[in-house]
Chains A and B, each alone.
Chain A
Amino acid sequence: MTRRADLANDVAEVLLTEAEITARVQELGRRISEDYAGRELTLVSVLKGSLPFMADLMREIAIPVQIDLMEVSSYGGTATENTGLVRILKDLSSNIDGRDVLVVEDIIDTGLTLNYLMRYLRGKNPASLRICTLLDKPARRLVEIPVDYVGFTIPDRFVIGYGLDYGEIYRNLRFVGVLRPEVYADQG
């Protein structure tokens, strides 16, 4: 990215305010607490985008949870990352055999990454495996995956903030916004 990002001016529109996100995360936390009451839950955050969501969500869950982190390479990654096949860059550090696992995602669009991840995690024999995503963009879906907890269903626009990036920037915005098209047109 040669152009210098401008956090204040690169956002065309705020799609979800900080207050809206907070309220929804609290609601999701309540639901998850009820659904998993009395069970052993492991939250698996998919790096890097889901970090803020994970941090907020886990504090809204009122039952004991373990957390773990995973990172999966993305198509079009750097030359050193892109081997032509998806791979696990950061694997689980704990054993999920027999545990209830909830995968925490920032956004689901094509479903390709999650499809791969779910196949991988199923191989580790969890007692249950479900998905919680902050954002769902169904218009982009290629692989249909049942999503158990959805924060917001959003329109087909390129969004940034609250963990979501463009060129690794904008993750630290406290809201979810739409990036001005000129920003990525400049990079094209």
Chain B
Amino acid sequence: MTEARPRPAFAHASEAELARILDFYEVRWEYEPHCFPVLFDRSGAVLESFTPDFYLPDLDLYLELTTLKQRLVRRKNRKLRRLRELYPDLRVKLLYARDFRALLLKYGKLALADALTGAGGQSTPPRTRPAPEASPGAIQPAHLGDRAGGPPSDATAPGLSPTATAPGTRPAGAAMRQHRARRARRTRAEARALAAVRASAGTLAAVRADAPPGTSAIPGGPE
């Protein structure tokens, strides 16, 4: 990690903190580089997809960080189960709020935990998303492409400092609504990108065949 590159606009301050930890230990990472369709309708259109937060290329491992309250992560757990069913070779680790809290405790930064978890940590501005780049198999989501991994830069990573993410600076309800809207926009963009490459992505045929008939999940809900 010798080359300083612009950091992505993280969806959540806890992701920025995790990126800092990975940087510190010189573990290369990519932020949301791949999107995996996990639910299809009868015609094969993608209804839902899963975009793990981090990919660690040297370890071939995806990390998904969810700092929402435990009762709110059921949907994400279901998507993760589906992901593992459809892509059994994929190595994905889900970090819950309690895991992230334990990580911060280990590093003596427990005071950050409350500021960086739940809706209080969602203080980063909406992301600007470049045009999609499709590839077979693991599909490039619509909003990605900027690789991060250089030295931490507070100036280019909003929400990194505890003061910037202090709870109470924005009502939790408003932050949650903003988060939901952001997720919905992203999922719609992903669906468009996926639809565009569906015909050329050979793996999708097998994936479609595995989809349960009559599924009607609505994409874009909060995770």
Contacts and interface: CB of A to CB of B under 8 A. Distances in A.
B21 A86 contact: no
- Chain B interface size, as a band, is 20 to 34
Interface string B101-118: 011111111110110000
Nearest to B152: A84
Contacts of B25: 75, 86, 112-113, 115-116
Interface string B93-106: 10000010011111
Contact of A188 (B24, B26, B114): B114
A130 interface: no
A167 interface: yes
Interface string A78-96: 0000001110000000000
Contacts of A143: 27, 59
Contacts of A144: 59, 61
B6 interface: no
Given A85-B151, A167-B108, A158 B27 contact: no
Considering residues B24, B59, B105, B109, which has the most beta carbons from chain A within 10 angstroms of its beta carbon?
B24
Contacts of A26: none
Contacts of A156: 102
A74 B114 CA distance: 21
B110 A184 contact: yes
A69 to B, nearest CB: 20
Interface in B1-45: 20-27
Contacts of A146: none
B106 A85 contact: no
A109 interface: yes
A167 B107 CA distance: 10
A72 to B, nearest CB: 9
A122 interface: no
B176 interface: no
Interface in B102-136: 102-111, 113-114
A116 B26 contact: yes
A76 B27 contact: no
A123 to B, nearest CB: 13
Contact of B106 (A86, A109, A115): A109
Contacts of B109: 76
Given A76-B107, A76-B108, A184-B105, A84 B27 contact: no
B63 A142 contact: yes
A132 B152 CA distance: 33
A169 B22 CA distance: 26
A2 interface: no
Contacts of B105: 158, 184
Given A84-B151, A144-B59, A158-B105, A75 B24 contact: yes
Contacts of B103: 110, 140
B196 to A, nearest CB: 34
A186 to B, nearest CB: 10
B107 A84 contact: no
A9 interface: no
A138 to B, nearest CB: 12
Contacts of A113: 25
B27 A140 contact: no
Interface of B: 20-27, 59, 61, 63, 93, 99, 102-111, 113-114, 151-152
